[in-house]
């Protein structure tokens, strides 16, 4: 019996060690003209997703790609079958789709609104005709069966992650390039049934599963009733996924990954809400993931003192970052092993150029690894498009000079190249986020120079808020996490009661949601590092305005009260939060350091003063971001900044 038990254990260990990671990436951007679909930048997403997966030890030979004409209906269905034939129980599978999506008339009566959601292969037409009735669309019913078959094959020790960088409803008119954005595909004269308030992507169909199917998570770039916009020539979800995968912490779950994606997308496409469905509290890739790529590979040695690396702004590598060059295979940076030191002189989206302080002896790229020494955090930058209907040349000059003189950004010539659109309607300035033309703010234009001053402040707030949303500090010596917990509130006694089930607070999109009438929450913070840390938390709204979330005037916790011992979790039960309009999505950004830290005085004085005697370097850094509204250079390459940052995203609904 003992021998059998040992054999079983050895078999189980062997089974686990041979688990593989597979991926199928489908990207359709150049649809044939006859289909009626517009061209989009889906193929650009392939590189982003491959980079995210190869950094997580997905083998190149296990990543399968279909692009454009390869991804017609037959090609996609065949690829699903071929991938399913390769996998075995315990494997991890990622399926990514970038392309158009569309709602299509329900053909089997299983939808309350008489509409299926679908993805659009290369050979699917945009309109119902006498010769095309939707047979090449891939409906949610079919996807549900495909997902179920994968889950059944992978078993409960495997995992399936699906990403859909597409959308299925609405009509795109202006405000960025959208994926989908066409009317429901249906026969002439067709009318839908009752309107349903759809949550999630609308693509997660319930299909019969085995008793022990694989956990499954579906990430979508937009909910079923929204458009999905591109950003800088990439799908917004694909862009956010790569950045989030470069920013993983300890014991990360899919819900935590989604929270990072939410935070990133709230800056690049504030008008759309990504969704998560399925088993979101499972550990990412069964816990078998790389927290942070320890080194960067060299793409090309340009000459003996200059090289190009495989990483750029998408990996949050900016001009001014210093690096060390060590032999390939080095496990840790030691001064005696450093071959050369260098600095990033130019950062592109997915690569960067480094100038070295000494020459390399070999011209073989594989001989070296590049390790980050001191990061630079880039500069605040905003691209503004002035609506063509606005003919006020004085205002245009004032805004252009303000952006230029404060190194804050520039006016651009097209909506598609912008982050915000500025226009006039009657006697009001209107500030809109480009993606989806979401209204951010209005400013009365009748007050002349005072109005322009207000407008400049609004532009700065939006730029600064987006900069801080994307700021990433990743010293794992100070790793921590935080979240909001719902709590019962006794109105009669005006006091807190018991904590409520946490999952009940997440809506159908997988977003933590609170209402303005009755919800109360408290803050829970956990130190995941091996040493004491101090923390502070700020809140950033859709306008980019920043407020201190912990501490506040109502929750004036001193530095020592915001100190956590190694491994300690603290719930701040003496301070509750309730909520007021407007409805919006807010990002909570937390920072932890080994020394006391408090952003509240910095924010209240807009960086102009702080009464703390020994101000934390990170406080000075945040204070420095205000300089670009006062004519400062905005450089982020001075004092060494150390710490750890993380996010929690929540949504306010009026009730």
Contact between 385 and 418 (Cβ < 8 Å): yes
Looking at the chain, the whole-number percentage of residues with pLDDT higher than 70 is 88
Per-residue pLDDT, 492: 83
Query: Are 269 and 357 members of one domain?
Result: no
Q: Kindly state whether residue 7 falls inside one of the protein's structural domains.
A: no
Query: Are 491 and 627 members of one domain?
Result: yes
Q: Kindly state whether residue 64 falls inside one of the protein's structural domains.
A: yes
CATH number for position 230: 3.40.50.1460
Per-residue pLDDT, 641: 83
Handedness of CA 7, 13, 16, 18 (dihedral sign): negative
Per-residue pLDDT, 74: 98
Per-residue pLDDT, 562: 97
User: Would you report the helix, strand and coil content of the chain in percent, each value rounded to 5?
Assistant: 25, 30, 45
Question: Span 606-612, mean pLDDT?
Answer: 67
CATH number for position 343: 2.40.10.340
Residue recorded with tokens 């950094």 = 55
For residue 11, report the phi and psi dihedrals to the nearest 5 degrees.
-65, -45
Least confident interval from 121-125, 165-169, 195-199: 195-199
Does 176 have pLDDT greater than 60?
no
Query: Are 392 and 365 members of one domain?
Result: no
Residue recorded with tokens 């407008």 = 455
Question: Span 144-151, mean pLDDT?
Answer: 94
Per-residue pLDDT, 3: 52
Query: Are 261 and 121 members of one domain?
Result: yes
Higher pLDDT, 391 or 427: 427
Q: What is the mean pLDDT of the chain?
A: 87
Residue 449: band (very low, low, confident or very high) from pLDDT cuts 50, 70, 90:
confident
Per-residue pLDDT, 524: 98
Question: Span 439-443, mean pLDDT?
Answer: 84
Does 634 have pLDDT greater than 90?
no
Query: Are 413 and 544 members of one domain?
Result: no
Q: Kindly state whether residue 6 falls inside one of the protein's structural domains.
A: no
Higher pLDDT, 203 or 429: 429
Per-residue pLDDT, 330: 86
Q: Kindly state whether residue 227 falls inside one of the protein's structural domains.
A: yes
Task: For residue range 260-278, list pLDDT tens digits in order.
Answer: 999 999 988 887 889 999 9
Residues in the chain: 655
Sheet strands (E) in 304-339:
306-309, 322-327
Query: Are 604 and 648 members of one domain?
Result: yes
Higher pLDDT, 111 or 119: 119
Q: Kindly state whether residue 4 falls inside one of the protein's structural domains.
A: no
Question: Span 508-516, mean pLDDT?
Answer: 94
Contact between 208 and 225 (Cβ < 8 Å): no
Q: Around 638, how many Cα atoms within 13 Å sit in the side-chain half-sphere?
A: 13
Task: For residue range 225-261, list pLDDT tens digits in order.
Answer: 778 888 888 999 999 999 999 889 889 999 999 999 9
**Which residues form the domain of 233?**
20-287
Per-residue pLDDT, 284: 96
**Six token digits for residue 93:** 């599978």
Query: Are 238 and 322 members of one domain?
Result: no
Query: Are 246 and 282 members of one domain?
Result: yes
Q: Kindly state whether residue 12 falls inside one of the protein's structural domains.
A: no
Query: Are 494 and 458 members of one domain?
Result: no
CATH number for position 631: 2.60.40.2550
User: Residue 427, class by beta-carbon neighbours within 10 Å (0-12 exposed, 13-18 middle, 19+ buried)?
Assistant: exposed
Query: Which of 287, 313, 335 delimits the end of a domain?
Result: 287
Question: Span 373-391, mean pLDDT?
Answer: 87
Most confident of 17-21, 282-286, 330-334, 490-494: 282-286
Task: For residue range 397-417, list pLDDT tens digits in order.
Answer: 989 999 988 888 999 998 888
Does 24 have pLDDT greater than 50?
yes
Per-residue pLDDT, 229: 86
**Number of domains comprising the chain:** 4
Per-residue pLDDT, 8: 47
Q: Kindly state whether residue 8 falls inside one of the protein's structural domains.
A: no
Per-residue pLDDT, 270: 80
Per-residue pLDDT, 171: 36
Task: For residue range 38-55, list pLDDT tens digits in order.
Answer: 999 999 999 999 999 998
Query: Are 403 and 526 members of one domain?
Result: no
Per-residue pLDDT, 433: 87
Q: Kindly state whether residue 293 falls inside one of the protein's structural domains.
A: no
Query: Are 481 and 626 members of one domain?
Result: yes
Per-residue pLDDT, 99: 94
Peptide bond into 551 cis (omega under 30): yes
Q: How far is CA 475 from CA 99, 587, 642, in A?
A: 37, 21, 7
Per-residue pLDDT, 293: 64
Higher pLDDT, 589 or 1: 589
Query: Are 431 and 480 members of one domain?
Result: no
Task: For residue range 532-542, list pLDDT tens digits in order.
Answer: 999 999 999 99
Query: Which of 455, 470, 485 delimits the end of a domain?
Result: 470
Q: Does the predicted TM-score (pTM) go above 0.85?
A: yes
Query: Which of 255, 287, 319 delimits the end of a domain?
Result: 287
CB atoms within 10 A of CB 130: 6
Residue 178: band (very low, low, confident or very high) from pLDDT cuts 50, 70, 90:
low
The residues, ordered by sequence, that sit 6+ positions from 426 with a Cβ below 8 Å of its Cβ are none
Most confident of 112-121, 205-214, 368-377: 368-377
Bridge partners, 160 (sequence order): 93, 216
Helix H or strand E segment including 469: helix 449-470
């Amino acid at each position: 019996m003992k021998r059998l038990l040992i054999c079983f254990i050895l078999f189980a260990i062997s089974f686990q060690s041979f688990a593989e990671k597979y991926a199928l990436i489908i990207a359709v951007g150049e649809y044939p003209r006859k289909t009626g679909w517009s061209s989009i930048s889906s193929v650009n997403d392939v590189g982003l997703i491959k980079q995210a997966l190869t950094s997580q030890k997905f083998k190149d030979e296990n990543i399968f790609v279909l692009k454009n004409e390869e991804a017609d209906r037959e090609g996609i269905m065949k690829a699903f079958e071929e991938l399913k034939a390769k996998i075995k129980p315990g494997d991890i599978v990622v399926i990514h789709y970038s392309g158009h999506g569309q709602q299509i008339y329900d053909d089997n009566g299983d939808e309350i609104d008489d509409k299926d959601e679908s993805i659009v292969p290369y050979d699917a037409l945009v309109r119902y005709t006498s010769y095309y009735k939707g047979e090449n669309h891939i409906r949610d019913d079919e996807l549900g069966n495909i997902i179920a078959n994968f889950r059944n094959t992978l078993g409960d020790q495997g995992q399936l992650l699906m990403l859909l960088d597409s959308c299925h409803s609405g009509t795109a008119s202006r405000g960025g390039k959208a994926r989908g954005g066409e009317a429901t595909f249906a026969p002439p004269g067709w009318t839908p049934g009752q309107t349903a308030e759809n949550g999630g992507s609308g693509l997660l169909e319930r299909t019969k599963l085995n008793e022990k199917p694989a956990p499954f998570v579906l990430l979508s770039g937009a909910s079923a009733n929204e458009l999905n916009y591109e950003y800088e020539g990439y799908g917004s979800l694909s862009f956010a996924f790569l950045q989030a995968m470069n920013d993983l912490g300890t014991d990360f779950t899919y819900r935590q990954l989604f929270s990072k994606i939410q935070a990133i997308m709230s800056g690049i496409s504030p008008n759309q809400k990504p969704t998560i469905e399925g088993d979101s509290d499972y550990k990412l890739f069964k816990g078998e993931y790389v927290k942070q790529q320890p080194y960067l590979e060299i793409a090309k040695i340009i000459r003996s003192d200059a090289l190009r690396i495989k990483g750029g702004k998408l990996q949050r590598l900016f001009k001014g970052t210093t690096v060390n060059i060590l032999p390939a295979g080095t496990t840790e940076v030691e001064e005696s092993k450093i071959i050369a030191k260098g600095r990033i002189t130019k950062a592109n989206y997915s690569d960067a150029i480094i100038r070295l302080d000494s020459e390399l002896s070999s011209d073989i790229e594989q001989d070296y690894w590049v390790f980050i020494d001191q990061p630079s955090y880039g500069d605040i930058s905003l691209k503004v498009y002035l609506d063509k209907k606005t003919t006020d040349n004085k205002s245009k000059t004032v805004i252009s000079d303000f952006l230029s003189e404060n190194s804050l950004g520039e006016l651009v010539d097209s909506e598609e190249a912008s982050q915000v659109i500025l226009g006039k309607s009657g006697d009001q300035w209107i500030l809109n986020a480009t993606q989806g033309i979401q209204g951010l703010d209005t400013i009365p234009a009748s007050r002349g120079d005072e109005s322009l001053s207000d407008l400049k402040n609004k532009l700065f707030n939006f730029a600064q808020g987006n900069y801080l949303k994307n700021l990433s500090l990743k010293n794992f010596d100070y790793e921590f996490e935080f979240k909001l917990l719902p709590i019962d509130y006794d109105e009669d006694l005006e006091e807190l009661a018991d904590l409520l089930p946490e999952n009940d607070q997440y809506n159908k999109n997988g977003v933590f949601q609170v209402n303005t009438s009755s919800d109360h929450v408290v803050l829970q913070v956990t130190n995941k590092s091996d040493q004491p840390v101090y923390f502070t938390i700020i809140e950033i709204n859709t306008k980019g305005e920043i407020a201190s979330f912990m501490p506040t005037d109502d929750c004036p916790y001193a530095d020592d009260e915001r100190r956590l011992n190694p491994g300690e979790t603290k719930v701040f039960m003496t301070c509750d939060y309730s909520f007021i309009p407007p409805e919006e999505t807010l990002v909570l950004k937390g920072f932890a350091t080994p020394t006391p830290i408090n952003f509240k005085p910095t924010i209240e004085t807009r960086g102009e003063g702080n009464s703390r005697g020994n101000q934390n370097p990170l406080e000075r850094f945040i204070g420095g971001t205000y300089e670009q509204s006062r004519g400062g250079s905005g450089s982020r390459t001075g004092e060494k900044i150390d710490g750890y940052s993380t996010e929690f995203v929540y949504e306010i609904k009026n009730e």
